[in-house]
């Protein structure tokens, strides 16, 4: 009966036929006996049932009619044709259409990122991050002068900001060598021929006292030591990006033997990747110890106040469109034989520069944008023509004629000469002191725009990150150059969309800092911390406050450095562009 009941149920489910049920019922006793003894009759039935199920499934599949691939392609082409018909733009610009035609929340979900608008004036993470360069509890105090390994003389190289990197690294090298650092000497033989000394630009007493716990610094080698020397100070030049081990191997033995060593042409002579405590020392030097002298600071502050009196917020642009920069880059800007001959003559000061193709360099993004192109980029990003602009630069190649298009785009156009002409007269012969004024104003601006990857751009970008990721725009020259060359082929709305797309990742947001990216002076990750946040673990939450971004990457490699992904550039209210452009 037990087997008959099972067969009856199977029949009701349509899995076996009636003849099989009858046959099985007639042999029920035998089957029962076998089942009790553990035979395989039940397994055989299960296999038969499985075969029948597979047969039904295969029959169902055989009845399906496959979709024609040509039919699918036809539907897709029809849809693309409709898009072209209604938008009037080329359908290959997939990002443009996805943002315009798809609902924002769906586009965000499909693209895997949050494209919420970004405020073009201020990062929403300004209050989340802050500079953290305090000495660690295990970072020992500086060795007294009488117990040091000797005196380290440093001769810097280049302009103001290039020399600033050299001074910063000089302090760290002195720490590595357990040496007493003599206040570095500045370069008087560079392109600018500036005779300024360290004390003319920086507050030397503050420099010495603020770093007293880190490195012993003196203004000059003691006379007693100089008289005891049988030979003049040993002068040497170390390779670029030398590691601490290189200094210990190459410089320390000479320092111990000669007592005084001078390192000349000292710029970028220290490796980018150092111990976190040495990186923090770099930040203490660059962002705290190097304070400008009172006269320079007062003029810079006056310029900033004048800008603030006229506008609640302003943009500072470092054009870096001087003749030496254009000659070094090997680029061409349409000035004919006159431009070619003038820049070729300047280019002779660098013996090792290769011959370059101006067109190829522009395609690679190695050429600075023209002042007009900088203005067009800013207008495309959403800055209105009533925005106040402070232009930081030296002698612009081409003079006022080169600047005129930028003035037309932003009539509220100001320079330090216009805002503090009388005060600057005493500084006129000194390019480094004038550059210091620009540095102060650019640092205090609401938005800072660089136009190349030079020393001032790197130094200020790093400082503004340290000060809370203040909005800093670095043109994506490679993509923008291609856009400017094809600007006449698209309308203004399409152009602005493409510019905003090109500038994602170049707006000074925290997620632009990646482990090992760029120069430390531009991306000081070891000195930037995030305010209190708690990260859930299996059973508890872990406090990860006051650790740097580089340490966060090391400890939590799979976590993001910010609470959420960053969005796209905000579409400000419609702005009609100048018809002539």
* The residue to which tokens 């397994």 are assigned: 43
**Closest C-alpha among 379, 320, 317, 396 to residue 569:** 379
Evaluate the CA torsion angle 337, 338, 339, 345 in order and state its sign.
positive
Tokens of 459: 């130094």
Report pLDDT digits (tens) over 287-340. Answer: 999 999 999 999 999 999 999 999 999 999 999 898 888 888 888 888 888 888
Angle at 479 (CA atoms; ends 475, 485), nearest 5 degrees: 105
Burial class (CB within 10 angstroms; exposed 0-12, middle 13-18, buried 19+) of 494: middle
Would you place residue 90 in the very low, low, confident or very high pLDDT band (cuts 50, 70, 90)?
Answer: very low
Question: What φ, ψ does residue 456 adopt, rounded to 5°?
Answer: -65, -40
Q: What is the mean pLDDT of residues 180-185?
A: 98
- The whole-number pLDDT of residue 384 equals 96
Would you place residue 53 in the very low, low, confident or very high pLDDT band (cuts 50, 70, 90)?
Answer: low
Burial class (CB within 10 angstroms; exposed 0-12, middle 13-18, buried 19+) of 361: middle
CA separation, residue 421 to residues 327, 355, 437 (Å):
29, 40, 12
Higher pLDDT, 21 or 169: 169
Report pLDDT digits (tens) over 106-127. Answer: 433 433 344 567 789 999 888 8
Report pLDDT digits (tens) over 453-508. Answer: 889 999 999 999 999 999 999 999 999 999 999 999 999 999 999 999 999 999 99
552 Cβ contact list (under 8 Å, min separation 6): 530, 544, 559, 561
* The residue to which tokens 């924002």 are assigned: 104
Would you place residue 7 in the very low, low, confident or very high pLDDT band (cuts 50, 70, 90)?
Answer: very low
Angle at 182 (CA atoms; ends 176, 187), nearest 5 degrees: 105
Burial class (CB within 10 angstroms; exposed 0-12, middle 13-18, buried 19+) of 261: buried
Q: What is the mean pLDDT of residues 334-358?
A: 85
- Which pairing describes strands 528-530 and 129-131: parallel, antiparallel, or unpaired? antiparallel
Would you place residue 46 in the very low, low, confident or very high pLDDT band (cuts 50, 70, 90)?
Answer: low
Distance CA 232, CA 533 (A): 56
Distance CA 70, CA 58 (A): 26
- Computed over every residue of the chain, the mean pLDDT equals 80
Indicate the pTM of the whole model. 0.74
DSSP per position, 444-481: HSSEEE-SSSSHHHHHHHHHHHHTT---EE---HHHHH
- The whole-number pLDDT of residue 550 equals 52
Q: What is the mean pLDDT of residues 358-372?
A: 89
Q: What is the mean pLDDT of residues 217-240?
A: 94
Question: What φ, ψ does residue 175 adopt, rounded to 5°?
Answer: -65, -45
Q: Could you tell me if residue 330 is left (phi over 0), alpha (psi between -120 and 50 degrees) or otherwise beta?
A: left
Q: What is the mean pLDDT of residues 250-265?
A: 96
Cβ count within 10 A of residue 71: 9
538 Cβ contact list (under 8 Å, min separation 6): none
Distance CA 449, CA 380 (A): 14
Would you place residue 412 in the very low, low, confident or very high pLDDT band (cuts 50, 70, 90)?
Answer: very high
Distance CA 334, CA 338 (A): 10
Higher pLDDT, 133 or 62: 133
| Count of helices and strands (H, E) across the chain | 27, 14
93, 489 in Cβ contact below 8 A?
no
530, 80 in Cβ contact below 8 A?
no
- The whole-number pLDDT of residue 80 equals 65
Tokens of 206: 């503050």
- The whole-number pLDDT of residue 346 equals 86
281, 134 in Cβ contact below 8 A?
no
């Amino acid at each position: 009966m037990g087997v008959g009941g099972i067969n009856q149920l199977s029949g009701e489910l349509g899995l076996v036929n009636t003849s099989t049920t009858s046959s099985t019922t007639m042999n029920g006793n035998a089957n029962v006996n076998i089942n009790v003894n553990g035979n395989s009759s039940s397994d055989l039935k299960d296999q038969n049932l499985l075969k029948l199920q597979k047969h039904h499934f295969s029959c169902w599949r055989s009845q399906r009619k496959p979709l024609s691939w040509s039919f699918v392609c036809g539907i897709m082409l029809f849809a693309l044709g409709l898009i072209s018909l209604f938008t009037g733009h080329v359908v290959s610009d997939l990002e443009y259409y996805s943002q315009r035609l798809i609902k924002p929340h769906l586009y965000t979900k499909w693209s895997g990122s949050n494209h919420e608008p970004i405020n073009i004036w201020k990062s929403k993470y300004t209050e989340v991050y802050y500079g953290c360069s305090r000495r660690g509890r295990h970072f020992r105090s500086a060795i007294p002068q009488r117990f040091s390994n000797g005196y380290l003389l440093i001769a810097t190289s280049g302009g103001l900001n290039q020399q600033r990197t050299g001074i910063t690294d000089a302090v760290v090298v002195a720490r590595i060598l357990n040496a007493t650092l003599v206040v570095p000497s500045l370069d008087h033989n560079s392109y600018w021929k500036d005779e300024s000394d360290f004390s003319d630009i920086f507050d030397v007493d503050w420099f010495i006292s603020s770093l007293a716990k880190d490195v012993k610094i003196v203004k000059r080698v003691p006379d007693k030591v100089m008289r005891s020397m049988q030979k003049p100070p040993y002068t040497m030049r170390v390779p670029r990006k030398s590691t601490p081990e290189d200094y210990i191997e190459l410089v320390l033995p000479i320092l111990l033997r000669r007592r005084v060593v001078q390192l000349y042409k000292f710029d970028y002579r220290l490796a980018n990747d150092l111990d976190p405590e040495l990186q923090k020392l770099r930040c203490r030097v660059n962002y705290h110890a190097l304070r400008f002298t009172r006269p320079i600071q007062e003029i810079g502050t006056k310029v900033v106040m004048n800008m603030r009196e006229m506008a609640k917020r302003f943009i500072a642009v470092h054009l870096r469109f001087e003749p030496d920069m254009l000659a070094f880059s090997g680029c061409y800007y349409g000035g004919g034989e006159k431009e070619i001959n003038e820049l070729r003559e300047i280019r002779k000061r660098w013996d090792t520069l290769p011959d370059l193709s101006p067109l190829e360099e522009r395609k690679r993004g190695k050429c600075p944008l023209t002042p007009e192109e900088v203005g067009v980029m800013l207008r495309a990003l959403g800055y209105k023509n009533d925005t106040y602009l402070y232009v930081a630069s030296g002698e612009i190649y081409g003079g006022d004629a080169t600047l005129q298009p930028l003035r037309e785009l932003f009539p509220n156009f100001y320079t330090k000469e216009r805002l503090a002409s009388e005060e600057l007269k005493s500084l006129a012969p000194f390019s480094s002191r004038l550059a210091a004024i620009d540095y102060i104003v650019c640092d205090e601006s609401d938005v800072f725009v660089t136009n190349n990857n030079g020393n001032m751009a790197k130094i200020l970008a790093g400082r503004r990150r340290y000060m809370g990721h203040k909005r800093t725009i670095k043109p994506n020259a490679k993509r923008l150059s291609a856009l400017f060359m094809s600007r006449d082929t698209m309308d203004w709305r399409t152009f602005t969309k493409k510019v905003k797309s090109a500038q994602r990742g170049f707006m000074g947001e925290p997620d632009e800092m990646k482990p090992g990216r760029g120069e430390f002076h531009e991306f000081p990750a070891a000195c930037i911390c995030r305010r209190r946040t708690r990260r859930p673990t299996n059973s508890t939450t872990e406090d990860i406050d006051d650790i740097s971004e580089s340490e966060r990457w090391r400890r939590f490699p799979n976590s993001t450095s910010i609470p959420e992904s960053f969005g796209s550039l905000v579409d400000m209210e419609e702005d009609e562009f100048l018809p002539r452009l």
